[in-house]
Structure 1
Amino acid sequence: MFLKVIKHKTAWLAVLAACLSACNTGNSNRPTDTPTSGTIHISVDETYEPLIEAELKVFHSLYPNTHIIADYKPEAECFKDLLNDSARLIIATRELNAQENAYFKQIKISPRSMLLAWDALALVTNRENPDSILTMDQVRNIMDGTDKERKWQIVFDNPNSSTVRYIRDSLNKGKPLPPNTMAAKTNPEVVDYVARNKAAIGVIGVNWISDPNDSTSIEFTNKVTVVKVRADYGSEFVKPYQAYIATGSYQLKRGCFFVLREPYRGLGTGFATFLGSYEGQLVIKRFRLFPARINAVFREANIQ
């Protein structure tokens, strides 16, 4: 009798262990994060590093149970991460293109995206270079290599960066960049190179030189000159300030978007929602981008 009980008990334990194993297997696919807790990696266009670092600092302080690890890289690499599912959220200067949308449609996934802000590219020159005021026609001539007045050394951050793509597609209309173009790897290295070379003109994201409370931003603006540009049909030369980005008076503008492929409401959704919220948009405003999700009012002021 005792042996029979032991056998039955052993059989029962075996069944229970199998059930628990099955339950655990089923739970392994359950989300381990929520909009306000957990750990995820995101990929961010490296031109937005100062902005997103500030956004993450605020977000983590509001939601201490979150841990978002941002990987800053060229925009093309961000979209690769999104496509191969190594990053569920990316911050970039464009939305999905037709080929990318077709891929997601094929695998029956519907990514979400939203415009967060209007951004701009800043042109920077050496402080000893007198050519710090340019028309848009002059900018085009420099970027496609047809400028005959002087020999410029054009400097970008990375061959696969969003700044290169913008100049090549939006400004040069598909024409290649001239042979005198070089990549300095990062935005800070662009600034350093321009500061050392009088004939150089650098192209960087405006948020790198826009935070008046950041020592790095102040150092950059002290090392180089930010070029004033006159838009087509414009009447004045302006720097990439918020009001001019908003009105189009500064013509080298582009969007800042998030693209999210998250099948449930997880931490990616939580951070994307924060970026579009009032608090997230205030951080964007501080970095001199023009917020797309809140109304910003500009008033004229007389400086005595």
Structure 2
Amino acid sequence: MRNTISILLILIIYSCNLLQINKSVIRIIGSDTMLELTKHLANEFNKEYPNILITVEGGGSKHGIEKLINGKADICTSSRKLYPEEAKKMVENYNSLGVANLIAIDALSIFVNVDNPVENLSNSELKNIFTGKIKNWKKLNSDSSDIKTVIRNKDSGTYLFFKEYILEGEEYDKNSITLPTTKEIIDFIKENKNAIGYGGIGYAKNVKIIAVNGIIPNAENISNNKYLYFRYLYFFTVKEPEGEIKLFIDWINSPKGQKVVRESGYFPLLNIKE
């Protein structure tokens, strides 16, 4: 009897290992802005394709691009395009410039605590806040409290986007609090009434989104080009996607996948009905 049980256990373990071996694996690394979105997409995709294992890691757009170039990732998630030096390395390693696969649209959003009375800031006010020229909320028709600016790190595509389009290339205030992920920025703002930060709109939970120049980031204002601070989100691959990777990207760009994009708080490439 014991021998029979032992044999059955061995067969079960062997079968489980065999199933694991037969699973295809897609390694995805990159943008923290896209981390929760990509996890959500992978989970929903796996309901239809359970034999494709998808691993998802953050670390920032720069980190993901480096991993893709070095062959440590199959897909890099990125909130920006490749820089010339990154494209050069891609060509040197693979004789390819890489392929940018669009999957969603994001609005760079400005976040404050829900108890902050400020509803709108101009471009110049935002620039002056994050470069340290405006240090107190009193100048912005709020109470006389010191402003706490919260920013992403230099590996983040969002950090660079904000610096280019809001700060117009100027340096961030040296007293800014740097946090590695948008989620941590959101958590900090929820606990600090005087904080202000930025990030992808999909993270806007239990904080207030500030209008910029009187315009809030929503689908209508982005489609009409009224809200200027939107960007495309990418899945980068070394070459044209094939096999399981192509299947996953095609699924994302289908109505099913784009519905998940909308449910994750981002804007779909397709006009998906509720």
Q: For this structure pair, what is the TM-score category when the shorter chain's length is used for normalisation?
A: 0.7 to 0.9
Give the conservation status (yes or no) of the 8 Å contact 2:123–2:166: no
2:209 corresponds in structure 1 to 226
Structure 2: distance between partners of 1:77 and 1:112: 17
Q: Offset of 1:289 from its aligned partner?
A: 2.3
| Structure 1 residue corresponding to 2:231, chosen from 240, 249, 254 | 254
Q: Does 1:167 align with 2:165?
A: no
3-state SS, counterpart of residue 291 of structure 1: coil
1:25 corresponds in structure 2 to none
CA distance 1:198–1:132, change in 2 (3 Å): same
Q: Does 1:126 align with 2:113?
A: yes
1:276 corresponds in structure 2 to 253
Q: Offset of 1:290 from its aligned partner?
A: 2.4
* 1:74-131 CA-partner distances (Å, limit 9, x unpaired): 1211111111110121111122222222222233134211222221122111233222
Give the conservation status (yes or no) of the 8 Å contact 1:152–1:180: no
3-state SS, counterpart of residue 140 of structure 1: helix
Q: Offset of 1:48 from its aligned partner?
A: 1.5
| TM-score, normalised via structure 2 length | 0.80
1:135 is matched by which residue type in structure 2? S
Q: Offset of 1:162 from its aligned partner?
A: 2.0
CA distance 1:137–1:264, change in 2 (3 Å): closer
1:145 corresponds in structure 2 to 132
**Cα RMSD (Å) of the superposition?**
2.4
Give the conservation status (yes or no) of the 8 Å contact 1:262–1:269: no
68-77 or 103-112, which deviates more? 103-112
3-state SS, counterpart of residue 90 of structure 1: strand
Structure 2: distance between partners of 1:142 and 1:49: 28
Q: Does 1:112 align with 2:99?
A: yes
| Structure 2 residue corresponding to 1:183, chosen from 170, 178, 202 | 178
Give the conservation status (yes or no) of the 8 Å contact 2:114–2:190: yes
| TM-score, normalised via structure 1 length | 0.73
* 1:253-296 CA-partner distances (Å, limit 9, x unpaired): 1111111115772332222222222221121122342222x246
Gaps of 5+ in 2: 1-20, 141-145
Q: Does 1:80 align with 2:63?
A: no
* Alignment size in residue pairs: 245
Gaps of 5+ in 1: 1-31, 210-219, 231-236, 299-304
Larger Rg: 1
Give the conservation status (yes or no) of the 8 Å contact 1:260–1:269: no
Q: Does 1:265 align with 2:265?
A: no
1:65 is matched by which residue type in structure 2? N
CA distance 1:264–1:279, change in 2 (3 Å): closer
